[in-house]
Amino acid sequence: MDFGIAAAQRDRSERILREVADHWKGSRASADAEVARAHFKAAGRMGLTGLCLPVEAGGGDLSALDTALCLEAFGRACPDTGFAFAVAAHLLACAVPVRDFASDEVRDRLLAGLASGELIAANAMTEDDAGSDTGNMSVTARPDGDGYVLDGEKSWASNAPVAGLVVTYAVTDPRAGFLGVSAFAVPTDLPGVGLGDPLPKMGLTGCPAGRVRFDNCRVPAEYLLGEEGQGAAVFQHSMAWERACLFGIYLGVMERQLAECVEHADKRRQFGQRIGEFQAVSHRLATMKQRLEAARWLLYRACWQLDQDPYEKGAAALSKIAVSEAAVANSLDAVQILGGRGYLHGSAEEQLRDAVPSTLFSGTTEIQRDVIARELGL
């Protein structure tokens, strides 16, 4: 076991911290489409939209662990957690399956734009009656000549309102259950693709999410990802990367949050002493630190495991639960420690609102516990 961070990894993270902090200084979360596109291009110039994509496409060709370390730095420096999430979803849930399952021609056509942030991608899996239940989808893809005709609606797709590409999943064989689902990379300028307005959300405001409609949308067969019927495998592969790496963002947020709370506890005085001298406050801070470190090492292990064996699921499930639940609990503690300041808009209350959905996306906490139970043989 090697718990050290190599010099190259540390230098890369420090560069990201500097560049992100400089670019987003004074910026606030925004769902405005033009703001989102401008930020994506800026993230592309920093290498964030192509961390684990091939060098020949303009990416960094980084491992899962190195990708997570970069996202951790991104989350720590960026005041807009929603936008950091948007970049990670674009990269891990969309660009990774294009990297690993698209034909050579489609890879050559799409990956450079994805790596640069010029082409924004949305992951469209969820439907009104099919969230984590991938065997119960209603969107269909009917084979038609040298392509497929897609019909139906996806209910929740991060980045959809600003996307130029949608990675989506549709039923090609209704009789085959989850083996009848296929994956597609669909350019949004194809006739029959409709992108909804941004959905109002509790948190992650900087990531516009919306509905995606397919109305007799003819998609050339070249945009099929993998083989027909391989959609469930493509989706699980993308989720392995997302569950392992994306939550590095929340490690960075918790690190920044803890530093703010420690500084406040050191400076704020009540009853003639620093509030950090009260055990009720100091123990709360110690617990926040313990949650953060435990979650961090589970995440690093999950990313290391992904680099060794991309089919192992238990480590990422353990990591996702630990990070997401720590993010919510630490944010609640931060509000309590900061008091009225923590309740003001843009402080710990925003971190709390951004933390709550981490227990829902990429598979709910309950789904992760199901994964762990199956790994135990139950």
Q: What secondary structure does DSSP assign to 222-284, as a single string?
A: GGEESSTT-HHHHHHHHHHHIIIIITHHHHHHHHHHHHHHHHHHHH-EETTEEGGGSHHHHHH
pLDDT in tens, the chain (378 residues): 788 899 999 999 999 999 999 998 766 656 677 888 999 999 999 999 999 999 999 999 999 999 999 999 999 999 999 999 999 999 999 999 999 999 999 999 999 999 999 999 999 999 998 776 777 899 999 999 999 999 999 999 999 999 999 999 999 999 888 889 999 999 999 999 999 999 999 999 999 999 999 999 999 999 999 999 999 999 999 999 999 999 999 999 999 999 999 999 999 999 999 999 999 999 999 999 999 999 999 999 999 999 998 878 899 999 999 999 999 999 999 999 999 999 988 889 999 999 999 999 999 999 999 999 999 999
277 included as an active-site residue: no
Residues facing residue 156 across a β-bridge: 126
pLDDT attached to residue 36? 86
**In the block, which residue shows the tokens 């060098």?**
55
Q: Are 33 and 207 a contacting pair, CB within 8 Å?
A: no
Q: Are 149 and 142 a contacting pair, CB within 8 Å?
A: yes
The pairing of strands 181-187 and 269-270 is unpaired
Residues whose CB falls within 8 Å of the CB of residue 229, separated by 6 or more in sequence, listed in order: 172, 173, 176, 179, 180, 181, 182
Q: Would you say domain 247-375 falls under CATH 3.40.50.300?
A: no
Exposure on the CB side of residue 130, measured as CA atoms within 13 A = 19
Residue 178 tokens read as 């989850």
* Range list for CATH 2.40.110.10 in the chain: 122-230
pLDDT attached to residue 358? 97
pTM (global) more than 0.85: yes
Report the CATH architecture of 122-230.
Beta Barrel (2.40)
Give DSSP secondary structure letters for 339-375. Answer: THHHHSTTTHHHHHHHHGGGGTTTS-HHHHHHHHHHH
Residue 9 to residue 60: CA distance in whole angstroms: 12
Residue 28 to residue 347: CA distance in whole angstroms: 11
* Range list for CATH 1.20.140.10 in the chain: 247-375
Residue 99 to residue 52: CA distance in whole angstroms: 9
The catalytically annotated residue of 19, 72, 242, 350 is: 242
Residue 197 to residue 226: CA distance in whole angstroms: 30
Containing 71, the helix (H) or strand (E) segment is helix 64-77
Q: Is 204 left (phi over 0), alpha (psi -120 to 50) or beta?
A: left
Residues facing residue 122 across a β-bridge: 166
Question: Residue 258 CB: number of other CB atoms within 10 A?
Answer: 19
| Amino acid in position 148 | Y
Question: Residue 37 CB: number of other CB atoms within 10 A?
Answer: 15
Q: In degrees rounded to 5, what are phi and psi of residue 164?
A: -105, -10
Residues facing residue 171 across a β-bridge: 140, 181
pLDDT attached to residue 24? 85
The alpha carbon dihedral of 27, 244, 52, 159 has a sign of negative
Report the CATH architecture of 7-120.
Orthogonal Bundle (1.10)
* Range list for CATH 1.10.540.10 in the chain: 7-120
